[in-house]
Amino acid sequence: MPALLSWEDVELIAELSRCPPATHPTICQHSHHNKYRSISGLCNNRQNPLWGAANTPLVRWLPAEYEDGEREPKGWNKGRLYNGFQLPLPREVSTRILRSSSKREDDLYSHMLVEWGQYIDHDISFTPQSTGNTFFGMDCQDTCENMHPCFPILEPSVTGEKHCMPFFRSIPACFVNFDIQQALQRQQMNSITSFIDASVVYGNTPKLESYLRDLSGRNGKLAINSQFKDPKGRSYLPFVPTLPSICRQGPDGQRVDCFSAGDSRVNEGLPLAIVHTLWLREHNRIAEALKHINSHWSPETIYQETRKIIGALHQIITMRDYLPKIIGSKSYEQYIGPYRGYNPTTDPSVSNVFASAAFRFGHATISPIVKRFNGSYQEHEQFAHLRLHTSFFSPWRIVREGGIEPILRGTTGSAAQAVSADMLLTDELTERLVVLKMPHRMDLASLNLQRGRDHALPGYNDWRAFCGMPTIKTLDDLKEVVSDHKIAKKILKVYKHPDNIDVWLGGLVENLLPDSRTGPLFACLIGKQMKTLRDGDRFWWEADGMFSQQQKMELLKGSLSRVICDNSNVKEVLPDSFRFRKYPSGYLPCEHIPSMNLEAWREERSQDLVKCGSPREIKNGDFILSSGPGKLVALYSCFYGFKLKGAAAITCEGNQWSDQPPECTVNHP
């Protein structure tokens, strides 16, 4: 059999082409990736190496409904009728049903619940858009005509004049499997890993991962901002590699560029950038502690073990603390249930309907105000609250206006926005949304509806049937699931037929289930997706062999509140940062919040390691130790941009290593 490509070659091809190469399952025997996740998600499933990997298609739970059967979105052809009617314009649905100038507060949950939803969404899905030039060289900013890849959002017009907001279609996914349906139909791509694996912290490609690491420090840590620190000397995220960046600047003239993190959307909002900052600091805090506990660990081992802990904490906070509040404990039991171990027949890939509709439920809970609180959780004396649209892409406000604490307290110490059918999206999002490189103000509600049509998602009723729920046939049926009868009437008036209702809108207006923040349809779709993300992940924190019993017990002490205590100057928190209480009711000093004891990760030097001594360090690469059958093996790998020359694995035999360590030479693509 001809020699397979090396692992480094496979990852390089995937990165340069943005399409994973057709991988042969034998490449997944690569033992380095039996111990730790690959950065791209490749080989999580050994038999189906692409399941859940970056740059693979979003999966379809129901077939796509393109107008030409292959690639034209719903609403592409002007005269096309659905059940005897044209689909309403997304902008009309937005202004008549979704836009709201006022919002009520949620008495149970804090705004951090909303922010975690966005943050964890960015850990599991990202659908890239086309760059916006048509085949004829026209820019999507300049046309109101449907011409691939432009699918503009038309403004309802009485005069017949055309006005529109630009809209770029999602780029088609790579054709990676020999699936005839996929070859004939346009599919969209998830450009990041589907797993809850903290890729928001570490990235999805070897190149980005390498940029985010402090490789020269040889300490297993992540790189930090070299220009700014907070008033207490704590670190900020590093800036993006290409400067100057497109982030907004403050009035004082000193530049603060866009932050860089594992996910490129980090600068979209201030609370989001703050959650990213907490995890950067938490990684470096844990790496430092593990280095002290296990002085014989290589920098690569420290980095990978810390990454594993951070990934586990993301999974625990999401499944234990976040999800039951979103879909309700009853739906959690129904759709997710107790963990029964890794199931290699479960495809963990993110579904199209989850990424493009169901998990966008949170847009209706976004507050029009970004609050900034002082140490007593009152409005900050120096830094006033901000209108949402003034806070987009503005990392300068963190660096120049008091660090992460004012916004952090504002996010945990203020109530989320309540969702009700008559108050859906704040006009800060429907009239004043800022999208970088766009001269126009955009409308998030219209973007979501148009995206669902771009992806050819079946309608609301099809998804209700998919979840085993009765379909809506009459106004009375709709009134049963939407208790605001005025809104139910308005929806049928705008859509003309129940089968035409877009899934995102239908799911959003349903009555919320008890103790939840979603209606029955979104609870079903989110629940089903989260179950596949858990059960189909070979590296899930509870899976056999991932952590010792003692380590699992320590991980369960972890919480977002503890991460806040350990990595900011916030001194008092609620035990659960997603709950809302008015300060000081229920707030505890940080010393009363349980914390993990990292001693559970102490690892004594093995007899073999004592005999053979530590393997030699190499330039531009590193090793991890792995115990083969009765043997200690040092597995070497090179940093991004370098390739191995020599033996990738050397074994401890007798009292010496079997071979010289390899070298890392420059890899010229």
Give the integer Cα–Cα distance in Å for 94 and 13. 42
485 a known binding residue? no
Where does residue 632 rank: exposed (0-12), middle (13-18), buried (19+ CB within 10 A)? buried
Indicate the helix (H) or strand (E) that contains 625.
Answer: strand 621-628
Q: What is the DSSP string of 495-562?
A: HSSGGGS-HHHHHHHSPPPTTSSS-HHHHHHHHHHHHHHHHT-TT-TTSTTTS-HHHHHHHTT--HHH
Q: How many CB atoms lie within 10 A of CB 652?
A: 23
At residue 626, the 3 state secondary structure works out as strand
- 639 contacts 215 by C-beta, under 8 angstroms: yes
Where does residue 592 rank: exposed (0-12), middle (13-18), buried (19+ CB within 10 A)? exposed
- Cα distance from N-terminal residue to C-terminal residue, the chain: 25
Residue 122 falls in the annotated catalytic set: yes
- 546 contacts 353 by C-beta, under 8 angstroms: no
Q: Cα-atom radius of gyration of the chain, to the nearest Å?
A: 25
Q: What is the DSSP string of 93-139?
A: HIIIIIEES--PEEEEEEHHHHHHHHHHHHHH----B--SB-TTS-B
Task: Exactly one of 32, 111, 122, 314 is catalytic; name it.
Answer: 122
Give the integer Cα–Cα distance in Å for 667 and 544. 37
Query: In sequence order, what are the residues at sequence separation of 6 or more whose Cβ sits closer than 8 angstroms to the Cβ of residue 428?
Result: 366, 368, 387, 388, 389
Binding residues for heme b: 363
The residues that are catalytic are: 122
Binding residues: 363
